[in-house]
Amino acid sequence: MQFGLIGGVLRHSYSCEIHAAIADYEYELRELKPEEVRPFIEKREFKGINVTIPYKQTVMPFLDEISGKAQAIGAVNTIVNRDGKLYGYNTDFFGMAQMLEKYGIELGGKKVLVLGTGGTSKTANAVAKALGASQILTVSRTKTENTVTYEEALTEHTDAQVIINTTPVGMFPNAGGRPVDISIFTHLTGVADAIYNPLRTNLVLDALERGIPACGGLYMLSAQGVMASALFRGITCDETLVEKAFTQVENSKKNIVLTGMPTSGKTSVGTLLAEKTGRPFYDTDEITTEILGMPIPDYIRKYGEESFREKEAQAVEKAAQYSGAVIATGGGAVLRAENVRALRQNGTLVFLNRPLEKLQAAGDRPLSDDKEKLRKMFEKRLPVYMNCADVVIDGDVTVGEAAHAVMKEMKL
């Protein structure tokens, strides 16, 4: 390995894509067991590496020199091999500070809760202190001299103004969780989550739904990657590369989620989009059919719509965990708020707005097998489609024109 990333579990990592956007070198992922970390470091068979959970503190005793900032923070996430000597740095500090600035999350004079106690937590504490937070509390599952428990946070510190999550709660593949319920924190002015996969965790979505500035960790990852890359190569950090790397990776990882009425063209447009962009294509109706073990119309006639919706939700949850895909949803998938929430974590919701007169009633669709049923369905669902849409596309066009319009909106 010349350049790369070491950590415990790395299947969620976007670091290869980040570094590919920054410079032209091979960047590898290397998962290590705890007992493998020391031998790997001591062999020194690399030029530069990043370090992630749970080894940001583990690696420190094996380094020859550690920067003053990393030493003060108590965590190293970047190691550079210079003529056989290992130098440790913390580029997460730069990354987190850049992220907070980009999303307008101000810490000066604020009471800040930092969730978690690992290496990224130490960075968050250092950043909060540097940015002038009036009070910083580290929240842990276990009470210590330097931490408060989650129970204490939820009962004694609901006046916190900023929450920074540095725990893995809510991270792929267990994206359904959240470290805290922010509804009781009535003074919040900002929420930041170091998790970047999914792009928007439930914690971030909770905040955004309440009108609170919030962000996931992809910008932090991009910024620290730019700084780390400069250290690897011994050059001055070009901060203009941060936005480039972030935008490039975010666009590649966002799902295009097509919503709309039955027969509005979601599958046709989705298939063409996948062909044009090189993305995989998934249809939640197909996934649902696999779960049901029979055609959807047969299942609805036999077991009813409500039972079908339960199975459909399982299919949506599965599809929502993909990244960089095109996803066509069933016509009623967005009727459930939990489905919309799941799809929002990694996706941009695109409504194909085909007019009623261009939709078709079909005998193989028991919920819209005649014109009157179709009309009532359209009138009921249209406000839902519009409300949950990030992008609305005119569906009264050809498949090719609709696909082109989506690509233009998504800047693809």
pLDDT at residue 48 in the model: 98
User: How much is the average pLDDT of 70-96?
Assistant: 97
pTM of the model: 0.91
Q: Which residue has the tokens 């249809």?
A: 283
User: How much is the average pLDDT of 258-267?
Assistant: 96
pLDDT at 363 over 80: no
Which of residues 175, 203, 233 is at a domain's end? 233
Residue 296 lies in a domain: yes
- pLDDT tens, 23-69? 999 999 999 999 999 999 999 999 999 999 999 999 999 999 999 99
In whole angstroms, what is the distance from residue 82 CA to residue 179 CA? 40
Kindly list the catalytic residues: 56
Which of residues 219, 241, 269 is at a domain's end? 219
In whole angstroms, what is the distance from residue 33 CA to residue 10 CA? 12
Residue 346 lies in a domain: yes
The encoded tokens of residue 105 equal 């999350």
Residue 274 lies in a domain: yes
CATH number of the domain where residue 189 is located: 3.40.50.720
The encoded tokens of residue 63 equal 């380094």
> pLDDT band for position 361 (50/70/90)?
confident
User: How much is the average pLDDT of 278-306?
Assistant: 96
CATH number of the domain where residue 227 is located: 3.40.50.10860
pLDDT at residue 367 in the model: 82
- Domain encompassing residue 124: 94-219
- pLDDT tens, 206-249? 999 999 999 999 999 999 999 999 999 999 999 999 999 999 99
In this structure, are residues 344 and 338 in contact, taking their beta carbons and an 8 Å threshold?
A: no
The encoded tokens of residue 101 equal 């600035």
Count of the separate structural domains present in the chain? 3
Are 85 and 119 in a shared domain? Answer: no
pLDDT at residue 362 in the model: 79
Sheet holding 162-165, edge to edge: 147-149, 135-140, 111-115, 162-165, 190-193, 214-215
